């Protein structure tokens, strides 16, 4: 949102959590604070949390971020190109990417990202099969 470009290549060596969301999505809004909390308690050299706002104007997203004090990187996907690449049809959907840059988990629906279940998912990222 700050005008820069984000690349997954810069994230190699880290677990990357990519969350697809929109401001009109109630489950997304319930989930974002727990993603924020996960980001705050995680080592930034080991885990990166990225959010992708889908098909909304930058002005809408900017107002939302200011109103909620969301402090996560937000990649704008105004035409839905990124979400289409990953076949995202349900919001929120989150991809967990291993340290080699391979998607290992696909979670559809809202999750408490501070739960023990999430810790288990993150620790399981050595497998090469996508899970749903």
pLDDT in tens, 82-97: 999 999 999 999 999 9
Coil, strand or helix: which one is 60?
A: helix
What pLDDT is recorded for position 5?
73
Over residues 105-109, the mean pLDDT reads 96
13 to 5, 101, 124: CA distances (angstroms): 19, 8, 15
Please identify which residue in the block is written with the tokens 């705050």: 40
Does residue 17 belong to any structural domain of this protein?
Answer: yes
What's the pLDDT score for residue 84? 97
CATH number for the domain spanning 110: value is 3.40.30.10
Query: Does residue 129 form part of some domain?
Result: no
Other CB atoms within a 10 A radius of the CB of residue 16 amount to 21
Query: Is 131 within the bounds of a domain?
Result: no
Average pLDDT, the chain: 90
pTM of the model: 0.90
Q: Please list, residue by residue across 36-49, b when 16 or more beta carbons sit within 10 angstroms of its beta carbon and e when fewer do.
A: bebbeebeeeebbb
The CA–CA distances, whole Å, from 103 to 23, 97, 122 equal 25, 4, 12
> 46 lies in a domain?
yes
Q: Indicate the pLDDT class of residue 130, thresholds 50, 70 and 90.
A: very low
Domain holding 94, by residue range, is 13-123
In the chain, the number of structural domains is 1
């Amino acid at each position: 949102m700050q005008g820069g470009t984000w690349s997954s290549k810069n994230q190699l060596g880290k677990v990357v959590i990519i969350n697809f969301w929109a401001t009109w999505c109630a489950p997304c809004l319930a989930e974002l604070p727990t993603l924020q909390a996960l980001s705050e308690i995680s080592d930034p050299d080991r885990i990166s949390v990225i959010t992708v706002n889908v098909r909304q104007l930058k002005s809408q997203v900017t107002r939302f971020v200011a109103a909620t004090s969301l402090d996560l990187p937000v990649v704008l996907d105004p035409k839905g190109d990124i979400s289409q690449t990953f076949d995202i049809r349900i919001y929120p959907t989150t991809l967990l990417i291993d340290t080699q840059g391979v998607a290992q988990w696909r979670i559809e629906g809202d999750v408490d990202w501070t739960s023990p279940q999430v810790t288990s998912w993150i620790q399981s990222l050595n497998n090469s099969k996508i899970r749903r």
